Amino acid sequence: MCGTCGCGNAEDVSVEGEHVHVLPDGSTVRHHHHEAGAHHHHDAHEHEHLMPDGKVVRHTHEGGERAHPPHGVLTGHSHEAKHEHDRSGEARRISVERDVMERNGRVAALNRARFAADGTFVLNLMSSPGSGKTTLLVRTLEALRGGRPLAVIEGDQHTSLDAERIRATGTPAIQVNTGKACHLDAEMVKRALDSLSGRAGGTLFIENVGNLVCPAGFDLGEAKKVVIASVTEGEDKPLKYPEMFAVADVVVVSKIDLVSALGFDVAQLIANVRRVNPRAEVFQVSARTGQGFDGWLRWLDRTSSVRTEARAS
């Protein structure tokens, strides 16, 4: 469990079909589930579970076909032990949150150094589900094709549907399925990088899991954070989710071709963005019609070129 948001970062995380448990120390255990709720281990190994109260439970599985209950189920705990957990739960939660974020920061720094070494310009695309992130990305990749090398890391809880859409543009893409986790973290990106070739000297887009809360708190090692806000979502989103908009380097207002039909007030949305984050650049685009795309593409070219020149010097 992630101590920051409560989601299951020790649950199923897979990179292109790999099925693993990512443990609190960063190690992984690979296996297949055989029935709902329970899983089996064939090889002897030490196994950890990070419980809802922040307690880490360690035990060893001997070889052979043995099953244990689903993660998060505590058995054999006394009434007194439960009260002890309740009393110390807040301290443990804070400790787990600090450990999670410190470890993420260390891995993000490694990712950032790796990107700098091979000259890769990296953007972290974040938004709510249904904002048009993937459609925006597909049109962007098609427009940039033939220039700098391009690559994509796709984050979703389940399926490889978006990665397949990206690959149809001719761009290499690696799918990361986060299971119960509601965001990508630096370790997931690090693992995906090991399977992603041909990005050196180019641009890497990381399409985060659709969520306006948790992705804002996790550094992935990216150069720029881009938040997409659709005109179908309402003008008040920056005020309801200020942490997300506060970290944005760029806010892309998407589906701008629907403004008239929806009666959407773009000026109010932008004013709300400015209240939260005066420094963010704002672009209004339609991935369907191409409206506003020139400005977005010029920003990408200018920003990626500046970083390439800075590295060369």
Kindly state whether residue 85 falls inside one of the protein's structural domains. no
Kindly state whether residue 220 falls inside one of the protein's structural domains. yes
Q: Give pLDDT tens digits for 68-103.
A: 444 433 344 455 555 565 667 777 777 777 888 899
Kindly state whether residue 6 falls inside one of the protein's structural domains. no
Kindly state whether residue 52 falls inside one of the protein's structural domains. no
**Residue 66: pLDDT band with limits 50, 70, 90:** very low
Sequence letter at residue 40: H
Domain count within the chain = 1
Sequence letter at residue 192: A
**Residue 46: pLDDT band with limits 50, 70, 90:** low
Kindly state whether residue 292 falls inside one of the protein's structural domains. yes
Kindly state whether residue 138 falls inside one of the protein's structural domains. yes
Give the integer Cα–Cα distance in Å for 177 and 270: 33
Query: Is the pTM above the cut of 0.85?
Result: no
Residue-averaged pLDDT of the chain = 81
Q: What pLDDT was estimated at residue 74?
A: 37
Residue-number span of the structural domain to which 196 is assigned: 101-312
Q: What pLDDT was estimated at residue 13?
A: 80
**Residue 310 in this model has a pLDDT that exceeds 80:** no
Kindly state whether residue 11 falls inside one of the protein's structural domains. no
- What average pLDDT score do residues 173-177 get? 96
Q: What pLDDT was estimated at residue 306?
A: 66
**Residue 48 in this model has a pLDDT that exceeds 80:** no
Kindly state whether residue 173 falls inside one of the protein's structural domains. yes
* Domain of residue 243, CATH code: 3.40.50.300
186 token code pair? 């630096």
Residue whose C-alpha is closest to residue 140's, from 283, 308, 306: 283
Strand 173-177 relative to strand 150-156: parallel, antiparallel, unpaired? parallel
Mapped to the 3 state alphabet, what secondary structure does 72-90 carry? CCCCCCCHHHHHHHHHHHH
